[in-house]
Amino acid sequence: MSYWQSMEPGAGRRAPRADALSNARRMSLNGTWRFRLCPTAMGTGADFTDPSFDDADWDEIHVPGHWVLQEVTPPGQLAPRSLRGTADGPLYTNTALPIPIDPPRVPAENPTGDHRLVFTAPQDWHGKAVLRFQGVDSCAKVWFNGVELGWSTGSRLPAEYDVELRPGRNVLAVRVHRWSAGTYLEDQDMWWLPGIFRDVELLERPPNGIEDHQIHASYDHRSGTGTLRVDTDVPARVEIPELGIVVPAGQEITLPVEPWSAEHPRLYRGTLVGESEIVDLAVGFRTVTVENGALLVNGRRVFLRGVNRHEHDPETGRALSHETMLRDVLLMKQHNINAVRTSHYPPHPEFLRLCDEFGLWVVEECDIETHGFIYTGWAGNPPAQPMWRDALLDRIQRMVERDKNRPSVIVWSMANESWTGENFDELEQWIRERDPSRPLMYERDPSYRNSDFYSIMYPSLETLEAIGRREEERPAGVSDAEDDRRRTLPFLLCEYAHAMGNGPGSLADYHRIMRSSERFCGGFVWEWIDHGFHHRDGEGQAFVMHGSDVAHRPNGGRFCLDGLLFADRTPSPGLRELAAVLSPVVIDVGRATATLHNEHDTLGLEHLELAWRVETEGEESASGVLDIPACAAGETVSLDLPVPAAPLEGETWITAEARLRREESWAPRGHVIARGQGLLEPAGAPPEPASAGIEVTLLAPRPGGGHLTLGPGRFDPLTGALVELGELPTVGPEVDLYRAPTENDRGQGGHNDLASVWSAVGLDRMQHRTDAVEITSHSLQVLGRSAPAAHGHGVAYHFEWSAPDERSLELEVTLDFTGPWTDTPFRQRDILVPRIGLRMALPRELDHVEWFGLGPGESYADSRHGAYVGRFGAPVDALQTNYPVPQENGNRQEVRWLRLTGSDRSLGVTGSRFSFAARRWTAQDLERARHPHDLRDSGKVWLTLDHAQQGLGSASCGPALPEQYRLDRSPTTWRVVFTV
């Protein structure tokens, strides 16, 4: 059978070895190559491998890169074009394999990219060299100067070949197949992106050079010493000047050192000096163990505040620049993330070097996922088939050998979502023998027999709590012995809180539960970044492309847009929430004190200072910066805040922020890592309200001129509708129970699909009826009912309008839900109402909002830790979060007052605490828009004023919205005051 349909992992490759930087010459072969696309793997013969072949009429392509993201000439076409958005381009599936399941065979239609590079070697460099590919998707055969070197699969793993370099002209030819037997092992939830997408390099191999080396650098927390031994295949000397170490390779040395941790990534740099080659060493001393059901590093428990990271760039796919990798690391550090699971394959080795340097714990996962076999009921699943053993083991070996020297890597994860099979026993055994210094994990096998961790994905809060209490249910089909062993393991939550669209909700709940039991050693949010591509529609409008923007089936639709960063790496509100929740310092602010709980694993608070300020309705009256007294990890310290007495009027808050006292490698001086707030109660008795003792005289409604006038309000006498507020024409307020469904409102695969119920029962198209307009001496009473067509349920409303003066208009709203609030008499699904509120339209000129409440970003019932109380202001346009798939966004909670202004006009709103959103379009417009550019300015500002809105949840892959974040439909009354 052809090599690309072989279960063998490759041929002709060198043995895997450590990724290392050395003084031996290295020549990057990245750059512009020649490229020809063929429709089948066989298509064009081997003509192009001949060094004299003329490739002048081929396309040019950038390596590293995926051809599906560049301009190339598709077969039968004349001119190069971008394949983005076509069925020959990037394809996205979640679990489905894009080829028929018939391993190891793949379709004849197998787009194949012939790549060719003619390059000149320096005159003084020839002879034996190593050609290295850091990553080629999915199968590549390689020829050098006309000689066939071999072939390889394993897309996210290196492959090296021996070559004979000629002085001067050399020709490299690489044939890359989109599909191969390897495809069956690489069914991760991500875009299918073929090509030579990581660096290609030539490495000089001096005679007697250092082929491979292994650093053993442990730390004994009892003695404070590190023990170092570097093993090599040739005689060499280990030199670490800072530690005064000069010892032969293979010799062990123990001496006092500072340990490496994600919090304090102490690296000792040195060299490994061989006869003909010097290799750089970056030694981090640390010892990782799983003991008594806990994950310990250097004898201390560590808690992983993690994210799952795929490699993604909206232009270049999985071909990432150094700057992009660094940006990911810095953004993680800046958002209080201390751990990464490299879901679901080894990342570019540079990323791990950055993790060593900046400090992130890494769970490194191998490039193995056979999820697509779920569609055969797991028949033929490779981990359970002996003939796949070598291919699987090859992947494990290439990962472990490449990255064995990285201190940041503390856990090896064998695979994702590949069900069970005996091959895992062999993979496990091989790792345990080769690298006993790190624990292993594999999540999917319910027996956990190959894993040092118990783990599941996307549990509900209740399930997680049960795990914390060690009362979880026993998985089906496991033996007593296996289950007893599993119960002794630490729990690591490998995926939770699906960050698709607006969300995830409940981050704080998950974190609280995980901090409440010693069984937990942390978790990883799904996932770091949206996998969306920048693309343009027929009219040249830019948008973020997802799976269903390609007419190809199967496709995983929008499920690839589930990150904490938008595809262009702009942080989403979800990431700000996560940063607040994961903060390793928790600040409680009391009257004139701030108590800091140091939740780091090992770090004190010496690197921080405490900035505090006092604000009355957001106006600052005092502030200062304090040193933080010594406070070891796990301890608490209280600081007196020299705050003045609270003024007697106005809501006054103390805000305390722990921030960096000097610049760190990963953030500037002043970067805030934790925030706490406390209300400053006035010391004396509250002032008598100005109105005390005085009977407030309310104005009387006045008919006339075809209207009813009450204070600044003008009403339609027949419908009772407000038509003007001061000079401002208005539509509404009217009862509004709807929000544009978020991805989480849509649930997953028919589960928890609230949005389709809302649409079935017409929450998005309520009709409003007025039953009575009554005038009293001091109020206008409007009674009516809002309800959807074709259904029996609705809300009876009672608007009681009154005006204390000519500039204020008060509204007391009472709603009474009249049932049955189930979708149909047959299905009886309870309808969760997403909002209980009002909406109104105002003139478009009122396009700036100032408010006192939670801000500055958006907040929801189950996602509000990233927001804080203050006075904020923003143009209406800046209040929107541009989710690539339009949906509910931009809500601000706990608002005491707001003021809309523009063109010398203004409108104030206060009353009971409320939430608001202000937009140029309605929720219905938001729902209809496919892309943000479909949203058009309606010529009005639509203001929603909510008494309550349900939480966000993360039901797009996970549990239903927790009970406590749903709204109940009991009768409700609240108050809104408009001032002009």
- Residues found near ligand IPT in the complex (CB under 6 A): 94, 188-189, 344, 416-417, 457-458, 495, 498, 526, 559, 562, 957
Q: Which of 204, 417, 657, 800 is catalytic?
A: 417
Q: 973 and 812 in contact (C-beta within 8 Å)? A: yes
Spatial CB neighbours of 99, under 8 Å, sequence gap ≥ 6: 106, 107, 179, 183
440-441: strand order across its sheet: 440-441, 409-413, 361-365, 339-341, 304-308, 520-525, 491-496
Q: How many CA atoms are closer than 13 Å to the CA of 892, on its beta-carbon side?
A: 29
Task: Please provide the size of the chain in residues.
Answer: 980
Shortest Cβ distance from residue 40 to ligand IPT (Å)? 30
- Structure letter (DSSP) for residue 755: H
Alpha-carbon separation of residue 570 from 157, 341, 366, 579 (angstroms): 29, 21, 28, 14
**Nearest distance, CB of residue 523 and ligand IPT, angstroms:** 13
Nearer to ligand IPT, 96 or 582 (CB): 96
**3-state secondary structure (DSSP) of residue 599:** coil
The pair phi, psi for residue 579, each rounded to 5°, is -60, -40
Nearer to ligand IPT, 133 or 528 (CB): 528
Between 377 and 705, name the residue whose CB sits nearer to ligand IPT.
377
Q: How far is the CB of 159 from ligand IPT (least distance, A)?
A: 25
By C-beta, is 299 or 446 nearer to ligand IPT?
Answer: 446
Identify any residues that bridge with 27 across adjacent strands, giving them in sequence order.
Answer: 202
Residue (98 or 259) nearer to ligand IPT, CB: 98
Q: Minimal distance in Å, beta carbon 165 to ligand IPT?
A: 41
Q: How far is the CB of 534 from ligand IPT (least distance, A)?
A: 21
Would you say 149 or 190 has its CB closer to ligand IPT?
190
| Contact (Cβ atoms closer than 8 angstroms) between residue 929 and residue 886 | yes
Active site residue 417: yes
The b-or-e profile of 683-711 (16+ CB within 10 A means b, else e) is eeeeeeeeeeeeeeebbbbeeeeeebbbb
The angle subtended at Cα 405 by Cα 309 and Cα 451, nearest 5°, is 60
Nearest position to ligand IPT, beta carbon: 189
What's the closest the beta carbon of residue 524 comes to ligand IPT, in angstroms? 10
- The radius of gyration computed from the CA coordinates of the chain, to the nearest angstrom, equals 32
Is the peptide bond preceding residue 820 cis, with omega within 30 degrees of 0?
yes
Largest CA distance in the chain: 103
Tell the smallest beta-carbon distance from residue 470 to ligand IPT (Å).
23
592: left (phi over 0), alpha (psi -120 to 50) or beta: left
Q: Sheet harboring 59-63: ordered strands across?
A: 10-11, 147-153, 139-144, 168-177, 109-121, 31-40, 59-63
Report the C-alpha gap between 822 and 830 in whole angstroms. Answer: 4
End-to-end CA distance of the chain: 80
* CB closer to ligand IPT out of 458 and 914: 458
| φ/ψ bin of 49: left (φ > 0), alpha (ψ from -120 to 50), beta (otherwise) | alpha
Catalytic residue of the set 201, 495, 609, 858: 495
Q: Is 277 a catalytic residue?
A: no
Q: Nearest approach, Cβ of 472 to ligand IPT (angstroms)?
A: 17
Nearer of residues 456 and 854 to ligand IPT, judged by Cβ: 456
Provide the 10 A C-beta neighbour count for residue 397: 20
Give whichever of 188 and 891 is closer to ligand IPT, judged by the CB atom. 188
Min dist CB 950 to ligand IPT, Å, is 22
Coil, strand, or helix at residue 697? coil
Active site residues: 417, 495
